[in-house]
């Protein structure tokens, strides 16, 4: 098996009340595992053994839909777990400076939430560093992400929120907006800062 399901970096219940234990168990143990298993099958079928997930995403336009969809799902969820932490944190360092240049944290949250709420159907909301190292908010459908060569807004993911219904429906039902607002309580800004520091710009 080329790729393995990464463990959660905290207990299933650690993000409560923002994300409950049942949601985390289903999301990680069922959904993320399925993406992992299907990615491995697609990699084998497509002769992509030995390539990193980032290499595969960078050539998403050239691989099968199975590899693109499940490769995105595999990477996105691994990123998602790491970009959250019990109790959350606050921006600092270069990322805090970039957020101030963007217009402040409140403005960033407002635009990010609007982008997530406006994503039709399933998908993701992203805060990325673009090719110039500037912060930008975008969204992608399904399991696409800004590392893929086939998306409109490419860049280094700094934050990403899953707006598929399975990410929030057990707690928030169909109120995606309430989920987006509550999610900031568990954002791991320390990890986001490391991603921003490592972005190419």
Residue 11, domain member (yes or no): no
Q: What's the chain's average pLDDT? A: 97
Are residue 74 and residue 104 in the same domain, yes or no? no
Q: Indicate whether 99 and 137 sit together in one domain.
A: yes
176 and 133, same structural domain? yes
Handedness of CA 162, 164, 166, 168 (dihedral sign): positive
Is pLDDT of 90 > 80? yes
Are residues 123 and 187 located together in one domain of the fold?
A: yes
What is the per-residue burial (b if ≥16 Cβ within 10 Å, else e) of 113-138?
bebbbebeeebbbbbbbbeeeebbbb
Identify the domain containing residue 165 by its residue range: 93-197
Predicted TM-score (pTM) of the model is: 0.96
84 and 102 in contact (C-beta within 8 Å)? Answer: no
100 plus 65 within the same structural domain = no
Same domain, 115 and 182: yes
- Tell me the CA distances in angstroms from 140 to 41, 150, 171, 200, one per residue in order: 24, 11, 23, 21
Residue with token string 């168990």? 25
CA angle, residues 194, 144, 155, in degrees to nearest 5: 40
What is each CA distance from 74 to 138, 182, 192, 196, 200, in whole angstroms? 20, 24, 19, 21, 23
pLDDT tens digits along 6-29: 999 999 999 999 999 999 999 999
Sheet with strand 123-129: strands edge to edge = 135-141, 123-129, 156-162
Contacts of 156 (CB under 8 A, 6+ apart): 128, 129, 146, 195, 196, 198, 199, 200
Number of domains in the chain: 2
Q: Are residues 62 and 98 in the same domain?
A: no
Q: How many other CB atoms sit within 10 Å of the CB of residue 146?
A: 24
Q: Which helix (H) or strand (E) holds 77?
A: helix 65-82
54 shares a domain with 25: yes
Region 106-125: what's the mean pLDDT? 98
The share of the chain scoring above pLDDT 90, in percent, equals 98
Q: Which of 30, 47, 82 is the last residue of a domain?
A: 82
Q: Residue 66: exposed, middle, or buried by beta-carbon count in 10 A (0-12, 13-18, 19+)?
A: middle
pLDDT of residue 133: 93
What tens digit of pLDDT does each residue of 116-159 get?
999 999 999 999 999 999 999 999 999 999 999 999 999 999 99
Domain final position from 82, 109, 124? 82
pLDDT of the residue at 2: 87
103 and 173 both lie in a single domain: yes
Mean pLDDT of 97-101: 97
Question: Domain for residue 87, yes or no?
Answer: no
């Amino acid at each position: 098996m080329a790729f393995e399901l990464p463990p959660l970096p905290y207990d299933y219940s650690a993000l409560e009340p923002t994300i409950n234990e049942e949601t985390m168990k289903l999301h990680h143990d069922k959904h993320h595992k399925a993406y992992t298993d299907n990615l491995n099958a697609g990699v084998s079928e497509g002769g992509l053994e030995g390539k990193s997930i980032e290499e595969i995403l960078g050539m998403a336009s050239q691989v099968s839909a199975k590899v693109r969809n499940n490769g995105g799902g595999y990477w996105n969820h691994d990123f998602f777990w790491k970009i959250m932490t019990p109790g959350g944190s606050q921006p600092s360092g270069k990322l805090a400076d970039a957020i101030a240049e963007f217009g402040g944290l409140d403005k960033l949250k407002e635009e990010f939430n609007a982008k997530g709420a406006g994503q039709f159907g399933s998908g993701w909301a992203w805060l990325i560093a673009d090719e110039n190292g500037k912060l930008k908010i975008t969204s992608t459908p399904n399991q696409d992400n800004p590392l893929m060569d086939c998306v409109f807004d490419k860049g280094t993911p700094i934050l990403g929120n899953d707006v598929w219904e399975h990410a929030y429906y057990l707690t928030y039902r169909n109120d995606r907006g309430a989920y987006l607002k509550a999610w900031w309580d568990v954002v791991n800004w320390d990890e986001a800062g490391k991603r921003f520091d490592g972005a190419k710009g």
